[in-house]
Amino acid sequence: MGMTRGFYIGRFQPFHNGHYNMVERIAEDVDELVLGIGSAGDSHSTRNPFTAGERIMMITKSLVEFDLVTYAVPIEDLERNSVWVSHVQSMSPDFDIAYSNNPLVIQLFREAGVDVRQSPMFNRDVLEGTELRERMIADENWERLVPDPVVDVVEEANGIERLQMVNDSDSNGQ
């Protein structure tokens, strides 16, 4: 078979070991992988603390060890789900298979005729962005739930202090 390119989108707030395990799985199927940085315009909020650039650093540094060509492409949100797949395709290198465990994303790709594959959830009780952000806010242990380079990126961005600050103002109703 020829070269296969996959596409995997997430908000990656932050990129954690569940995402890493999913890439490990995907790497068995494809030669190249596009990582879509979802909600790319969002940052500095409790749900989306990190910028697209910071998330690109987390992903690029975490995936260097794979025998896989990777591209990180920021994808901003749209008001219209009905044209979202075209929007993604307009920003990304061409891909053969989309990977997601998000039901809306799966449905939109399938309706647009794109081949979609799911993976099992890895250790979902702790490997979840929401859980990680809660631990960061509470100064609880989160470092072992992410690839080592992500710890450095969070530190460089002063991410814990930022998340604690924006969480304070978010929960005070801005």
Binding site for ligand NMN (CB under 6 A): 9-11, 38-39, 77-78, 81, 84, 100, 102, 104-105, 108
| 39 scored as a contact of ligand ATP (CB under 6 A) | no
CB of 94 to ligand ATP, least distance (A): 21
Cβ(66)–Cβ(86) under 8 Å?
no
Contact string 88-117 vs ligand ATP (x = CB under 6 A): ------------xxx---------------
Burial bucket for residue 45 (CB in 10 Å: 0-12, 13-18, 19+): middle
What phi and psi values does residue 135 have, to the nearest 5 degrees? -65, -40
| 13 scored as a contact of ligand ATP (CB under 6 A) | yes
| 147 scored as a contact of ligand ATP (CB under 6 A) | no
Query: In this structure, are strands 97-99 and 69-74 parallel, antiparallel, or unpaired?
Result: unpaired
| 49 scored as a contact of ligand ATP (CB under 6 A) | no
Output the CA angle 76-82-88, nearest 5 degrees: 35
Cβ(129)–Cβ(11) under 8 Å?
yes
| 124 scored as a contact of ligand ATP (CB under 6 A) | yes
Which residues of the chain form contacts with ligand ATP (CB under 6 A)? 10-13, 18-19, 22, 100-102, 119, 121-124, 127-130
